[in-house]
């Protein structure tokens, strides 16, 4: 396991101190029930970083009791297990009541690092399962575990993953697979759809209770505003805008941005058919189930804003004025997205200070990528290594690592000429510029083929070593890490047919 990211003292499992603030809400918000555990569970993977984050000594992950608790077989002292109800729009269509169909909130706790909730995903049926089995499979659990921690390594707001516990219990999906439970950690798992649920039922009292809980627990500064509920909507609009900027800057695609998969705290939530951009295509659909292309890469900011309007509709009974609700979205989402995206892209491109024409240059760059389709991650990483000035006689050799990604090398040369001209407008030393670019342009992302290798080893041989290697690498995605050089490679030929869907 990788080393903890925090110096806070960590203790034993029995020392977790739950406060269960969500469980203190009225029982209309959830159903209390214990998870349905796994027979003969075994540890697949654990994140020492997340263990330390919630106050557990990473050495505790090796205990039998750890497996029993995070398989759902034993409740830790002080937990108050429940499944939450929510509703939502799925693929743009109102789906009505949803809820934690295969997730159990063990409880909430508070420590020096903040408020944390621990949730088991795949721990059996709940009243919100809608006929499903309430289980998760090893395949999807590995993907969620690794991507949660990969996103944290990239500095992107996200839920975290403490562990995967597996079992030989058969589960039917497209084929027979084995069961697993992911222990997820976040300050809260409340979603846009949590508010839509009460608004759609004209239950203003519960709507207010939920909003008050979020404000008082996580956003107390909103209480000072003239309209706290409009302030809450403005806050989540701003955070969601910044989140979209982070996704777009690293080429991340969520794949299923339904309102029930959108966090009220602006976190990346619910990893299913996600993907990281490889050969660049702004219209890429990473979710095989998304037959109409609603959740393409380029659509993500638009969909996020549409989802925020649905949240605004849900909060309107509390906000009071439609113009105030719409304004909370319009005045905060777009500006936050645009400002953060330009900031991130300027760092990726190595610009020392922003200029008025940068937005146009960034747009031209994405047009250039769209036309020539280089690998998104490799393009920006290779760019980070190039000098700001180059001897014309040596330019082809100097720029070869980037030029060789293009069939049309003349087009690459023309773009590089414009890029260097822009660098010259705000000059700085190559070493300083390249350090900023390396920190903004990861070498390693969780490509689908990397996850697939780990999944196949785990499924075929119960070999979990690849999960551990990827976890170690992805927590420092911008470092060179020569021992993991193979993880920066383009997909092998066998991976060209990989597909992920809502069952992933």
Catalytic annotation, residues = 260
Does residue 160 contact residue 50 with C-beta atoms inside 8 Å? yes
Torsion of CA 454, 459, 465, 466, to 10 degrees: -10
Q: Where are the alpha helices (DSSP H) in 99-227?
A: 138-153, 192-200, 204-218
Tokens of 75: 């409740």
Q: Cβ–Cβ contacts within 10 Å for residue 217, how many?
A: 16
Cα separation of the two ends of the chain: 25
Angle at alpha carbon of residue 155, lines to 228 and 433, rounded to 5°: 120
Residue that the structure tokens 């002292």 belong to: 77
Angle at alpha carbon of residue 452, lines to 450 and 455, rounded to 5°: 115
- Sequence-distant (6+) residues with CB within 8 A of 374 are 279, 280, 405, 406
Q: How far apart are CA 257 and CA 92, in angstroms?
A: 9
φ/ψ of residue 88, rounded to 5: 165, 170
Kindly list the distances between the CA atom of residue 103 and the CA atoms of 95, 98, 427, in Å, as whole numbers in the listed order: 19, 12, 52
Residue 184 gets the label, from left (phi > 0), alpha (psi -120 to 50) or beta, of: beta
The distance between the two most distant Cα atoms of the chain, rounded to a whole number of Å, is: 74
Kindly list the distances between the CA atom of residue 238 and the CA atoms of 232, 297, 307, 362, in Å, as whole numbers in the listed order: 10, 20, 13, 22
Q: How far apart are CA 412 and CA 399, in angstroms?
A: 9
- Residue 188 buriedness (CB in 10 A; 0-12 / 13-18 / 19+): buried
Residue that the structure tokens 């189930």 belong to: 289
Does residue 280 contact residue 375 with C-beta atoms inside 8 Å? yes
Length of the chain: 504
Q: Please say whether the dihedral angle defined by the alpha carbons of residues 230, 231, 232 and 238, taken in this order, is positive or negative.
A: positive
Angle at alpha carbon of residue 295, lines to 182 and 456, rounded to 5°: 40
Q: Where are the alpha helices (DSSP H) in 33-154?
A: 48-53, 64-70, 138-153
Tokens of 106: 């063990």
């Amino acid at each position: 396991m990788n080393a903890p990211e925090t110096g806070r003292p960590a203790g034993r499992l029995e020392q977790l101190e739950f406060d269960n603030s969500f469980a203190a809400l009225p029982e209309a918000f959830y159903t209390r029930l214990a998870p349905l555990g796994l027979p003969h569970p075994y540890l697949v993977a654990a994140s020492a970083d997340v263990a330390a984050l919630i106050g557990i000594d990473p050495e505790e992950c090796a205990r039998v009791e750890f497996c029993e608790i995070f398989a759902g077989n034993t409740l830790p002292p002080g937990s108050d297990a429940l499944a939450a109800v929510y509703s939502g729009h799925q693929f743009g269509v109102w789906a009505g009541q949803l809820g934690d169909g295969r997730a159990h909130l063990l409880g909430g706790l508070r420590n020096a690092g903040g408020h944390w909730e621990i949730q088991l995903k795949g721990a059996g049926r709940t009243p919100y399962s809608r006929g499903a089995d309430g289980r998760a499979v090893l395949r999807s659990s590995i993907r969620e575990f690794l991507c949660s921690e990969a996103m944290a390594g990239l500095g992107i707001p996200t839920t975290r993953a403490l562990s995967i516990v597996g079992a030989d219990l058969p589960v039917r999906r497209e084929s027979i697979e084995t069961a697993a439970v992911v222990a997820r950690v976040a300050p809260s798992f409340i979603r846009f759809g949590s508010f839509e649920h009460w608004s759609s039922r004209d239950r203003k009292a519960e709507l207010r209770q939920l909003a008050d809980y979020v404000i008082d627990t996580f956003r107390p500064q909103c209480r000072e505003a003239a309209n706290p509920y409009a302030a809450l909507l403005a806050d989540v609009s701003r955070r969601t805008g910044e989140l979209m900027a982070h996704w777009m800057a690293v080429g991340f695609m969520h794949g299923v941005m339904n309102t029930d998969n959108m966090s009220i705290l602006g976190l990346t939530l619910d990893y299913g058919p996600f993907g990281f951009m490889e050969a660049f295509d702004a219209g890429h659909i990473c979710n095989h189930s998304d037959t109409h292309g609603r959740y393409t890469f380029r659509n993500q900011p638009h969909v996020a804003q549409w989802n925020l309007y649905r949240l605004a509709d849900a909060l309107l009974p509390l906000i009071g004025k439609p113009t105030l609700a719409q304004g909370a979205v319009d005045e905060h989402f777009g500006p936050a997205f645009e400002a953060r995206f330009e900031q991130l892209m300027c760092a990726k491109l190595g610009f020392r200070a922003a200029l008025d024409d940068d937005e146009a240059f960034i747009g031209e760059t994405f047009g250039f990528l769209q036309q020539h389709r280089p690998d998104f991650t490799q393009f920006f990483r290779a760019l980070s290594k190039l000098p700001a000035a180059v001897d014309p006689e040596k330019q082809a050799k100097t720029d070869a690592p980037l030029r060789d990604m293009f069939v049309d090398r003349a087009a690459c040369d023309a773009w590089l000429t414009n890029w260097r001209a822009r660098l010259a407008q705000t000059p700085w030393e190559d070493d300083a510029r390249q350090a900023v670019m390396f920190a903004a342009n990861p070498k390693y992302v969780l490509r689908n083929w990397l996850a697939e290798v780990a999944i196949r080893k785990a499924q075929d041989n119960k070999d979990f070593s690849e999960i551990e290697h990827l976890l170690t690498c992805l927590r420092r995605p911008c470092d060179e890490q020569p021992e993991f050089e193979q993880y920066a490679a383009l997909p092998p030929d066998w991976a060209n047919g990989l597909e992920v869907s809502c069952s992933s």
